[in-house]
Amino acid sequence: MRFQFKFKNGAKELWELSMIHQYTSMIGVVNVVFTVSMAVLLATSYKNSWWVLSLCVAIAMLYFPVIQPLIIYFRSRKNAEKITNETELSFTDNEIFITVADKHQTLTWKDIQGIKELPGMFILYTGRGHGLVIPDKSMGNDRKAFISFVKDKMPKK
């Protein structure tokens, strides 16, 4: 085994992953534009003493930066409660072994369709919308060596 990691993703990791995907997509751009638009509308409605509209716009302005992350956190916490067992990943030069409780799966490097380095985690994509999320805390000081290893093993396109 070249690398071996054992971890259990919790609400924090699931929330971070959701937030990163949310705000690095086109949806994130729309969220920012909406929030800025609401701020401009709030300034205008407040200046004109439209108190009811100002209150509604203030709530709308808080949706994406405050309310939506809270909703995503509670959803992540609910999903994290379903994760009862630790995941163990073992990486060799030819294969990736995945063990969760008493279930085992083996992947080859050809099965890995992509990788993504994110703050606090590393993702190995095994399919569209599916992947192995490895938190930094489980990699410890091996993060750079592991990422270099994975990049070397990725199939060249």
Q: What percent of the chain has pLDDT over 70?
A: 99
**Token digits for 82?**
């379903």
State pTM to two decimals. Answer: 0.81
| Cα–Cα distance for residue pair 70/97, rounded to 1 Å | 35
| Cα–Cα distance for residue pair 87/85, rounded to 1 Å | 7
| Helix (H) / strand (E) containing 142 | none
What are the φ and ψ backbone dihedral angles of 116, each rounded to 5 degrees? -150, 125
CA 98 to chain centre: 20
**Token digits for 153?**
């093993």
Render pLDDT for 78-96 as a digit per residue (tens, 0 to 9): 999 999 999 999 999 999 9
| Cα–Cα distance for residue pair 31/67, rounded to 1 Å | 12
| Cα–Cα distance for residue pair 19/56, rounded to 1 Å | 25
Render pLDDT for 114-139 as a digit per residue (tens, 0 to 9): 999 988 899 999 888 788 999 999 99
**Token digits for 139?**
């990699």
Nearest to 19 by CA among 34, 31, 6, 4: 31
Domains along the sequence of the chain with CATH:
3-9+83-153 (2.30.29.30), 12-81 (no CATH)
Residue appearing with tokens 């592991």: 146
- Mean pLDDT over all residues of the chain? 91
Residues of the chain whose pLDDT is less than 70?
A: 1, 157
Q: Give the pLDDT score at 1.
A: 65
Sequence-ordered list of residues with C-beta below 8 angstroms from that of 150, at least 6 positions apart, any chain: 91, 112, 115, 122, 124
